Amino acid sequence: MSTTITERVDELPPAEQAIVTEIATACRILAAHGCSPGIGGHVSVRAPGQDAFFINSFHLTFDEITPADVMKLGFDGSARHGRHRVSPGWEFHAGIYQQRRDVDAVVHTHAFWVTALSSLNRPLKMRHNLCTFFFEKMAVSPDDTFEQIGPALADANSILIPFHGAVTVDRSLGRAAALMLNLEDMARLDVTLEATQAPPMPDERCPALRTLVDEVAGYLELTWELHRRKVMLPW
Ligand SMILES: [Zn+2]
């Protein structure tokens, strides 16, 4: 393994330059959607074919992140590209990539409504067609450590971390980020209705609705493209 740590984006191969740009774009999108209330939260992408991943610097808010603020870390935490402040939460990204070969992107935020939902200490209730992305695909972690998050996540696409926030995972950053944007909206609906007697959708309706919104409508991919169009301004 090379010990050389690159510093500038233009020192990366083109495919990796595209990844750091995509991460910075996702950070900007999440910030525009109110998912970045302050310092904290991370967006990462697996480095293809390597025991490593790209992740945003910890000391900046999502709306401040540019491609130059994205670093590459080995699964052991060693720096491979960029010399930035590393979040204490880097370990669960490395853990998830090693545990889930089907996952190539991880998004973690402390978005307000996501965090409010997490503090109810239960999965999202099915109160909208778009909730069905999380039907039987959302876990709740006993605490903030990867020792608990890893086994609790299992094959889910999302996990609530009570009194903290949530993590979404998927095969692409566009899908993982769109899942988080959707979760913030669905969490707002769920928490707002919590004090009422409004019943959630019957479970038996959920699998077909998820197929419709995901596989037929392509909602996550369209959501990612929508938000890319909205935030694509010069860095
Ligand atoms: Zn956190």
Show the CA angle centred on residue 176, arms to residues 171 and 180, nearest 5°.
160
1 is a domain residue: no
187 is a domain residue: yes
Print the domain residue range for 208: 9-231
| Cα-to-centroid distance, 167 and ligand 1 (Å) | 9
In the Cβ-directed half-sphere of 179, how many Cα atoms lie within 13 Å? 31
129 is a domain residue: yes
| Cα-to-centroid distance, 88 and ligand 1 (Å) | 9
Contacts of 105 (CB under 8 A, 6+ apart): 43, 44, 45, 46, 169, 170, 171, 172, 173, 175, 176, 177
3 is a domain residue: no
| Cα-to-centroid distance, 109 and ligand 1 (Å) | 6
Alpha-carbon distance 45 to 67, whole Å? 13
The CATH number given to whatever domain includes residue 43 is 3.40.225.10
| Cα-to-centroid distance, 104 and ligand 1 (Å) | 19
Total domains present in the chain? 1
| Cα-to-centroid distance, 62 and ligand 1 (Å) | 13
| Cα-to-centroid distance, 83 and ligand 1 (Å) | 21
| Cα-to-centroid distance, 164 and ligand 1 (Å) | 6
| Cα-to-centroid distance, 41 and ligand 1 (Å) | 5
pLDDT, residue 3, reads 67
pLDDT, residue 84, reads 86
70 is a domain residue: yes
pLDDT, residue 204, reads 97
pLDDT, residue 2, reads 53
| Cα-to-centroid distance, 110 and ligand 1 (Å) | 6
121, burial (CB in 10 Å: exposed 0-12, middle 13-18, buried 19+): exposed
208 is a domain residue: yes
| Cα-to-centroid distance, 23 and ligand 1 (Å) | 17
Token pair recorded at residue 111: 């978005």
86 is a domain residue: yes
Say which residue the tokens 């025991």 belong to: 51
104 is a domain residue: yes
Predicted TM-score (pTM) of this structure: 0.95
pLDDT by residue, tens only, the chain of 235 residues: 556 899 999 999 999 999 999 999 999 999 999 998 788 899 999 999 999 999 999 889 999 999 999 999 999 999 999 988 888 888 999 999 999 999 999 999 999 999 999 999 999 999 999 999 999 999 999 998 889 999 999 999 999 999 999 999 999 999 999 999 999 999 999 999 999 999 999 999 999 999 999 999 999 999 999 999 998 776 6
